[in-house]
Amino acid sequence: MKTMRAVIAASLLLISSNCFAQADLFGPTENKSARSGFILNGNVGLDFPGADMAKRFKQSFRVGPALMYKTKSNWLFGAKFDFIVGKNVTEDSLMYNIRDKYTTYSQNLFEFINNDGQRIGVPVYERGYAVGLSAGKIFSKSVDHPDNGLTVLTTAGFMQHRINIFDKDKSVMALRGNYLKGYDRLSNGLFVEQYVGYSYFAANKLVNFTVGLDFLAGFTQGRRDYLYDVMRPDHEKRLDLLYGLRAGWFIPMFRKKSEEMMFE
pTM value is 0.82
Q: Which of 187, 197, 196 is nearest to 238 (CA)?
A: 187
Q: How many residues does the chain have?
A: 264
The reported pLDDT for the residue numbered 120 is 86
Instruction: Return the pLDDT at 116.
Output: 82
Give pLDDT < 50 ranges for the chain: 1-4, 6-30, 258-264
At 99 the pLDDT is: 84
pLDDT given at position 15: 40
Nearest to residue 46, comparing CAs of 59, 34, 30?
Answer: 59
CB distance 216 to 245 below 8 Å: no
Supply the pLDDT for residue 247.
97
Q: What is the DSSP string of 84-140?
A: EEE--B--TTTTGGG--TT--EETTEEEEE-TTS-EEEEEEEEEEEEEEEEEEEEE-
pLDDT at 256: 67
222-255: pLDDT as tens digits: 999 999 999 999 999 999 999 999 999 999 988 7
